[in-house]
Copies of this chain bind each other. A is one copy, B any other.
Amino acid sequence: MDYQQIINDIYRDCLAEKDNGKLADYIPELTQVDPDKFGIQVTTLDGHGYGVGDYQEKFSIQSIAKLFSFTLALKLIGNALWKRVGVEPSGDPFNSLVQLEHEKGIPRNPLINAGALVICDVLVSELENPKAAFLDFMRTLSGEQDIRYNTTVAESEKANGYKNAAHINLMKSFDNIHNKVATVLDLYYHICAVEMSCEELSSAALLFANNGILPGNKERILSKSITKRINATTQLCGLYDQAGSFAFKVGLPGKSGVGGGIVAIHPGKYTISVWSPKLNEKGNSHKGIQALELFTTNTELSIF
């Protein structure tokens, strides 16, 4: 399969279409991104990479970080995690408090905001220096050392994050946050403010396509079984209340962020990352979803 040709065609076709999406605007930093940025990267298990457009430019990975923080927490405490967070799709907009209250402070899954806050609470409990440890983990997975937090973005989000403050306080009222609210929020906003390129994200996600093993050095990070379960959770919960439509159109487990990035995984084959900052009304990259749909349609490859 000529991945380079396929993504080149998709890149051209997507650029030709009108994109009515809008930049995330809840913090000033995200509105300063060039809305026309667009990159695609495919990385296969044998180590080949195929990129087009702005695939080497770093952007704010935002909620994509939740896939990795979830993985790190699962590595640290294993099945004990499931007492504190579920594995069911939320069925509700990603910022809804309704379900959380109804279910007594147990978030539906680790990939929605509330679940990711519980995950951060776990990391704070388990790690000496969770901020450094998370960066280390991302560097190990991607094989790339130059991965950092954008602290301006982190601070700006923290200053405007009243909804997340509502979520975490509600969970704290149900005793599902064990550390100080401010400490957990600080970690949360930092991991969301990691900056990576499509190329780096595709590399970092390869272990999910490879049964938990880093293809580069053959290091096993996760068991085969845990890897499958992470992929299943990502399939069902990775795109908030657009998870069904994403599975329907794209047919791969994927995780999106409001920075306009999406990473998707084809177990046993490849990972694919896209970045285009204009978001649809569900908060997912408009062009990103379009590109991924074209990719699995044109390659006739999906897990289904």
Shortest Cβ gap from A173 to chain B (Å) = 4
Q: Is the CB of B169 within 8 A of A302?
A: no
- Picked from B87, B170, B242, B249, the residue with its CB within 8 Å of the CB of A248 is B87
Shortest Cβ gap from A158 to chain B (Å) = 12
Residue contacts A-B, CB under 8 angstroms, 25 given: A86-B244, A87-B247, A88-B91, A88-B241, A88-B243, A91-B91, A91-B92, A91-B99, A98-B101, A98-B102, A162-B170, A163-B169, A163-B170, A165-B181, A225-B297, A227-B304, A229-B249, A231-B304, A232-B244, A232-B247, A232-B248, A233-B248, A235-B236, A236-B247, A267-B304
Q: Is the CB of A248 within 8 A of B267?
A: no
Contact residues in B for A251 (Cβ distance below 8 Å): 228-229, 231-232
Contact with B along A101-118 (1 / 0, CB 8 A): 110000011000000000
Instruction: Kindly list 19 other residue pairs between chains A and B, CB separation below 8 angstroms, not including A227-B304, A228-B251.
Output: A87-B248, A88-B243, A89-B91, A91-B108, A96-B101, A97-B101, A98-B98, A108-B244, A109-B244, A162-B172, A163-B170, A163-B173, A165-B172, A166-B169, A166-B170, A235-B235, A235-B304, A237-B244, A267-B303
Q: A224-B300, A236-B244, A237-B244 are in contact. Are A173 and B162 (CB under 8 A)?
A: yes
Q: Which chain B residue has the least Cβ–Cβ distance from A229? A: B248
Complex: how many Å from CA A181 to CA B236?
33
Complex: how many Å from CA A87 to CA B165?
27
Q: Is the CB of A89 within 8 A of B244?
A: yes
A276 at the interface (CB under 8 A from B): no
Shortest Cβ gap from A262 to chain B (Å) = 16
A129 at the interface (CB under 8 A from B): no
Q: Is the CB of B97 within 8 A of A166?
A: yes
Complex: how many Å from CA A165 to CA B168?
9
- Picked from B165, B173, B249, the residue with its CB within 8 Å of the CB of A169 is B165
Contact residues in B for A227 (Cβ distance below 8 Å): 304
Q: Which chain B residue has the least Cβ–Cβ distance from A208? A: B304
A217 at the interface (CB under 8 A from B): no
Contact residues in B for A90 (Cβ distance below 8 Å): 91
A286 at the interface (CB under 8 A from B): no
Shortest Cβ gap from A70 to chain B (Å) = 12
Shortest Cβ gap from A300 to chain B (Å) = 7
Shortest Cβ gap from A270 to chain B (Å) = 14
Shortest Cβ gap from A162 to chain B (Å) = 4
Give residues 226-261 of A contacting B (CB, 8 Å): 227-229, 231-233, 235-237, 241-245, 247-249, 251, 253
Give residues 140-168 of A contacting B (CB, 8 Å): 162-163, 165-167
Complex: how many Å from CA A267 to CA B247?
15
Shortest Cβ gap from A161 to chain B (Å) = 8
Q: Which chain B residue has the least Cβ–Cβ distance from A252? A: B232
